[in-house]
């Protein structure tokens, strides 16, 4: 089969990494031909991660289309659309070139088979009924249980509830991190890495670290952050046991080797559908402390591979617990790794292919 994975791909974030890992995995672990389709141009940071020996990149399919690329969709046996935060992809108007994003008409009836993966928001899936007249087969993949159950429970999804759907984690290559980890510091290290967007970093980090230090002292633990936005970093960079690295200053492998416990603490209002940074940390054998929201509820089993928290007092309690019970870091870290092996790229790609094949 020829399988095209399509998304907008405007930056290198978790959704884009999901696209890349999926298409690379299809090429590596199946006999199918893999294509990365993009609406516009492909950033160099994205292109560098694509296995271009096995994956064909078809960029600018809709923004600056050429005659050949306009027909690229029709040559595929399967199209997987990774929606991220683009609300247009599930509307028939989009494929007919009638939206503000582009004016290229794609005859999706010649494809006949499209799967839509909702990685960031699931609400656009309710418009998929507009494609039923053109497509022989439509399928839905959700990033987490909450998205999956929302389609079942909420009335606004009534017209798409009968579309086949599964939940599928973001694929992570188990060889991309070290296990067991290679950390030499005597201190217990907590940390988080993410992009520097404001809502990725909670302004309560300052208050939390100061409270934790008052409880435990600065000599027993330290904090390592990579990619922290400037406004939060300026408030904590003078704290003695805090280390801050610029975004991408270290590879993910190097960064995770520096910490014992991964602590995911974005803004309170942010609900991450399935945090890839948590998945990578789990794969490296880190226990997780994370907000009790969104996809975190799928990734963390409370008291087994980490803890969920709803306020800064609970966050502090969990940091104190690992500090007072350091043997639990290894125990829960092994549980993280065991769980993470279920979303190793090879296994995720197999479940994907099993689902999209008739």
Give residue-wise pLDDT tens across range 259-294.
999 999 999 999 999 999 999 999 999 999 999 999
What's this model's pTM, rounded to 2 decimal places? 0.93
Same fold, 2-168 and 175-342: yes
* Domain regions of the chain by residue span: 2-168, 175-342
Mean per-residue pLDDT pooled into runs of 10, the chain (358 residues): 92 87 97 94 91 94 70 91 86 92 89 92 95 95 96 97 96 95 85 94 97 96 97 95 96 96 97 95 98 97 98 98 97 98 97 93
Beta carbons of 12 and 20 less than 8 angstroms apart: no
Beta carbons of 21 and 95 less than 8 angstroms apart: no
Interatomic CA distance for residues 139 and 164, integer angstroms: 5
CATH architecture of 2-168: 3-Layer(aba) Sandwich (3.40)
Interatomic CA distance for residues 338 and 126, integer angstroms: 35
To the nearest whole percent, how much of the chain has pLDDT over 70?
98
Residue 288 — φ and ψ, nearest 5°? -120, 140
Q: Please name every residue paired with 114 in a beta bridge, in sequence order, or none if there are none.
A: 79, 138
Q: Are strands 2-7 and 306-309 parallel, antiparallel or unpaired?
A: unpaired
> Which residues are CB-contacts of 212 (< 8 A; sequence separation ≥ 6)?
221, 316, 319, 320
Nearest to 3 by CA among 12, 29, 15, 17: 29
Give residue-wise pLDDT tens across range 237-251.
999 999 999 999 999
Please report which helix (H) or strand (E) contains residue 347, including its range.
helix 345-356
Nearest to 204 by CA among 319, 315, 320: 315
CATH architecture of 175-342: 3-Layer(aba) Sandwich (3.40)
């Amino acid at each position: 089969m020829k399988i095209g994975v399509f998304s907008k791909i405007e930056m290198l974030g978790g959704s884009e990494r999901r696209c890349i890992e999926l298409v690379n995995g299809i090429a590596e672990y199946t006999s199918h031909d893999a294509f990365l389709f993009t609406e516009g141009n492909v950033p160099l940071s994205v292109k560098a991660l694509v296995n271009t020996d096995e994956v064909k990149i078809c960029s600018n399919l809709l923004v600056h289309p050429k005659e050949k690329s306009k027909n690229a969709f029709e040559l595929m046996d399967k199209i997987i659309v990774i929606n991220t935060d683009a609300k247009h992809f599930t509307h028939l108007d989009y494929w007919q070139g009638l939206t503000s994003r582009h004016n290229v008409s794609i005859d999706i009836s010649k494809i006949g088979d499209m799967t839509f993966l909702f990685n960031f928001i699931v609400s656009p899936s309710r418009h998929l009924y507009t494609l039923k007249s053109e497509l022989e087969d439509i399928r839905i993949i959700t990033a987490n249980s909450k998205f999956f159950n929302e389609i079942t429970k909420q009335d606004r999804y009534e017209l798409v509830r009968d579309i086949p759907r599964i939940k599928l984690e973001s694929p992570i290559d188990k060889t991309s991190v070290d296990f067991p980890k290679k950390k030499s510091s005597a201190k217990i290290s907590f940390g988080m890495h993410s992009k520097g967007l404001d809502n990725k970093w909670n302004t309560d980090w300052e208050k939390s670290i100061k409270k934790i230090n008052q409880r435990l002292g600065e000599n027993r633990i330290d904090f390592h952050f990579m990619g922290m936005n400037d406004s939060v970093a300026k408030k904590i960079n003078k704290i003695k046991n805090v280390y801050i690295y610029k975004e991408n200053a270290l590879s993910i492998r190097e960064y995770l080797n520096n910490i014992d416990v991964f602590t995911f603490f974005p803004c309170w209002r942010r609900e991450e559908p399935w945090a890839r940074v948590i998945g990578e940390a789990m794969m490296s054998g880190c226990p997780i402390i994370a907000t009790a929201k969104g996809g975190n509820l799928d990734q963390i089993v409370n008291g087994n591979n980490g803890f969920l928290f709803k306020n800064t007092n609970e966050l502090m309690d969990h940091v104190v617990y690992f500090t007072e019970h350091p043997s639990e870091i290894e125990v829960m870290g092994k549980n993280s790794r065991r769980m993470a092996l279920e979303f190793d790229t090879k296994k995720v790609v197999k479940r994907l292919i099993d689902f999209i094949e008739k």
